[in-house]
Amino acid sequence: MVKILVIVSGAREHAIIKSLNKSKKEKEIYCLASNNNPGISEICNELKIVDINNSEIIKEYSIKQSINIAIIGPENPLAYGVADSLWEAGIGVVGPKKNLAQIETSKSFTRNLLREYKIPGCPKFKTFTNMEGVEDFLSLLGENYVVKYDGLAGGKGVKVAGDHLHSHEEALSYCKELIENGGRFVIERKLIGEEFSLMSFSDGENLVHMPAVQDHKRAYENDTGPNTGGMGTYSDSDHSLPFLEKNHIESAQKINEKTAKALKHKFGEGYKGILYGGFIATNAGVELIEYNARFGDPEAMNVLSILDSDLIEICEAIISENLNNTKIVFKNLATVCKYAVPEGYPDDPVKGHQIDVSEVKNKNMLFYASVENKNDNLIQIGSRAIAVVGHGETIWEAEQIAEKNILKVKGPLFHRKDIGTTDLIQKKINHMSSLK
């Protein structure tokens, strides 16, 4: 009997738990969560709402339930050292310790690591804790700059020249705002190209790479509007993307491998968990935008829904440093994931309204996020509500299925109709061609 604890916040963890549940191993799945996610609660043996950043609560619960494997879904518990606490209690964790999680929790740490270990893909950057030298560095970069809050900001601490900041005056004002809030920040050269996500399983020594995925952060169609947690994603049946070349994937894989090696050298222990590189293919090759220390959301729904291997076995291999001897296979299917989000999202989302999914026939392709079960009704609680995934031999087929099903999710919601469409993908291909 394997007893698994998943630390839960939303649809990403719903995807993890669905994948764990497919295992033929005898198992019990326990969840510590920030809300009563109905999709998760109907699968797991127990769902308990706690402060998921409190390492003592999580450790005590894990000991009480005799947990063998803990999987940390969101980033905040990693930042609070939950993995450290569980390892101290003798519980194996899929998710890096606090020091190693700095790869996500500190933008400056990541940039300095790449520079120190001469890992490719690092743009020109500088870290600041006050305004000294900010104006000079902005002048050096001209109109191609990005300002990034150094810590965690729920994907909303980054402001890009031309998109969010339209002059050096606006950039200076944002930098002052970050300093007033006690923040350190990084300014770096803006990268021009097409973004993609490449996640890797890591056991501290060995990496196994997952299919490449493209996320869409902007709230509205044609990549307009404010940044969000991610409105949807797609992947191709060959595990690459239509606008990428073979060398782009290989470069991203090598950067992940070198980063994992650098982390082990720096801290004397390996990175165990999911290493998620947010990359960009440019005319000069692949560069790293940022790292995350866990599965992406929505990317988890794409890759885990086509994982043809036993996720529990993979988790055991990560903990025991045995990934090299573990067969990991993903089906050769294209995937499209679309999020239904509340009206007004992300700036002023409505909440407390009922959602109806009764018309969706294949509930297996629904992933619940910011929703709760109240009196047998599905109620949205203010952020991304429900993700819908479609599979197909082609991206076009997968998109048709995803779109057909998300239209059956009823409530005061909207979604991006263009994610995964032929028109949008062609724009990405044309954009890459124009950079050559």
Q: Structure tokens of 367? A: 């992933």
d(CA 222, CA 93): 39
Q: Encode pLDDT of 131-163 as tens digits.
A: 999 999 999 999 999 999 997 765 557 899 998
Residue ranges covered by each domain of the chain: 2-95, 124-189, 194-431
Domain 124-189 carries which CATH code? 3.30.1490.20
Residue with tokens 């606008």: 243
Mean pLDDT of 61-85: 97
Mean pLDDT of 165-171: 95
194-431 CATH fold: D-amino Acid Aminotransferase; Chain A, domain 1 (3.30.470)
Q: What is the mean pLDDT of the chain?
A: 96
Mean pLDDT of 284-295: 96
Pairing of strands 386-392, 366-368: antiparallel
Tell me what percent of the residues of the chain surpass a pLDDT of 90.
93
Looking at the chain, how many residues does it have?
Answer: 436
In angstroms, how far is the first alpha carbon of the chain from the final one?
55
Q: What angle do CA 191, 195, 196 make, to 5 degrees?
A: 145
Torsion of CA 222, 198, 264, 101, to 10 degrees: 40
Position 181 scores a pLDDT of: 78
pLDDT band, very low/low/confident/very high, at 164 (cuts 50, 70, 90): confident
pLDDT band, very low/low/confident/very high, at 301 (cuts 50, 70, 90): very high
2-95 CATH fold: Rossmann fold (3.40.50)
pTM: 0.96
